[in-house]
Structure 1
Amino acid sequence: MFATIKTLIRGIDARAEERLSDTYAIDLIDQKIRTSEADLARAKQVLAGLIQKSRMETRQLDAVTLRIADLLERAQAALREGREDLAQTAAAAIAELENEQAMRRRTVDMLEQRGLQLRQSVEASHRRLMDLKQGAIAARATRKAQHAHGGMARSAGSGDTLGEAEALINRVMSAEDPFEQSAILKDIETGLSHGSVADDLADAGFGKPTRSTAADVLARLHAKA
């Protein structure tokens, strides 16, 4: 029973960890990129140190080789002149320099081999880091699109936002015009007070006019002229 409970707890923890990773996926990617950049920078520094050391050892190896060649030439000259003692001294020095030469050559070979391996590793890490950065760009774009779709889905779940806006517009546009309503009410009041009957009779020429007309204004203008 306890084993089953432990298994369930591990499953719950794993799902919680996955959800947490999904939530902060972009932050985790950025952190891994920064870590990879720091590791790559350190590897480049080590590679630079190996190259510098290899070049220094190569220069020293070349110098030892030149000294050996110079001593060989001088020893041969001493032998031609019968100076066995000087040739013997030169031979001892040459033997010591040849041992140093062999040691330095092994060191140079080792440094070059390690430098080659590290360079290949640096180049591979650089390519992977570039791919990781491109993937991060795609991941950010995808996450933004997911958030946008999620927002639209939440809006749709809580109600059709666009439909509600359209309904509000239609409600405003179809609302009654208060000015038109006021004019209608005035006409109704006039009808109820029978004021329109007197106007109709006056317009037909029965009795005094109840309102000024364009014809009246024009007649007054002719009279003044």
Structure 2
Amino acid sequence: MFKTVLTLFRGGIAVAEEQLEDRTALVILDQQMRDAAAAVDRSKRTLALAIAQDQQEGRRLEATNARIADLEVRTTAALDGGREDLAREAAQQIAGLEADRDAAMTARTLFAQEITRLKRHVSNAEARLTELDRGRRIARASEAVRNLRRGGIEAARPYESTLPEAENTLKRLRERQMEAQAADEALIELDAASGPLATAEKLAEQGFGPRIKSTADDVLARLNAKRTQTTT
């Protein structure tokens, strides 16, 4: 018995969790999409920073190459002028600049790889986010339609009446009204057939007392009497 109760309790918790997830699914999805959009924005900022640093390295590389070219010209002139001491000093500067140039070129290669990766990641994330947004709009519309159906007049609350119940009530009411009308008519007929008025009519028909209701003969006699009075 205890095992059965425990199983029912666990089953109730599972059902409650599922119902809670169903009710809050859109809320959870909205927050998840906000988190995803924030992550995409961070990736965009990282991409922008990488591009800016790559451009900075590019400018540094251009400046370094220009200085190297200028010093090479001057070093060659020093050698031609017999100033090997100045040429050696300039050569040392050129060697240092070439090291900076190689480092800048390596950095630009790394930045180019990272920029390519980030662009691919951002593009893919934005496409997925757009698709999620479409799905969210469809899910929100479907949920709104389901709520309308759930709250519509076909799906009344337990304490509310439904259309079929109202129709059945009207049908019963009409049947009772028809029964009451038929009973009233039957009573009228019974009163007419057995009441004092009916007895008086029977007596009049037998010649005992004046007629209660006029007949065709009575109408014709009255009209002929009027004619006679008019002609005289």
How large is the RMSD of aligned CA atoms in angstroms? 4.1
Q: 2:128 is matched by which residue type in structure 1?
A: R
Residues matched between the structures, number = 195
Residues in 2 aligned to 1:169 and 1:44: alpha-carbon distance in whole angstroms = 67
How far residue 38 of structure 1 moved from its aligned partner, in angstroms, is 1.2
Partners in 2 of 1:75 and 1:138 — Cα distance?
Answer: 72
The separation in 2 between residues aligned to 1:103 and 1:123, in whole angstroms, is: 30
Return the offset for 1:7.
10
Structure 1 residue 80 corresponds to structure 2 residue 96: no
Mapped partners of 2:132, 2:147: distance in 1: 22
Give the match's secondary structure for 1:204.
helix
Unaligned segments of structure 2, at least 5 residues? 202-210, 226-232
Equivalent residue number for residue 17 of structure 2: 17
SS in 2 for 1:82: coil
What TM-score does the superposition give when structure 2 sets the normalisation length? 0.65
Query: Shift in Å at residue 92 of structure 1?
Result: 1.2
- The TM-score with structure 1 as length reference comes to 0.67
**AA in 2 matched with 1:55:** Q
Report SS of the residue matched to 2:213: helix
In the other structure, the counterpart of 2:164 is 163
Deviations 1:58-97 (A, max 9, x none): 1111110111011111211221222222211211110111
Q: Kindly state the Cα deviation for residue 170 of structure 1 after the two structures are TM-superposed.
A: 6.4
* 1:91/1:199 CA distance change after superposition, 3 Å: farther
Percent pairwise identity: 32
Match of 2:213 in 1: 197
Q: Which runs of 5+ in 1 are unaligned?
A: 210-225
Q: Which has the larger radius of gyration?
A: 2
Change (3 A) 1:198 1:7: closer
Q: After superposition, what is the alpha-carbon deviation per residue over 1:171-209, rounded to whole angstroms, capped at 9, x for unaligned?
A: 899978x9xx9xxx9xx8xx88989725967743428x9
Q: Which amino acid aligns with 2:164?
A: G
Alpha-carbon separation, structure 2, partners of 1:199 and 1:70: 144
Letter in 1 for 2:21: S
Q: Which letter maps to 1:20? A: L
Aligned to 1:213: none
- Aligned ranges 1:103-118 → 2 under 5 Å: 103-118=103-118
Match of 1:61 in 2: 61
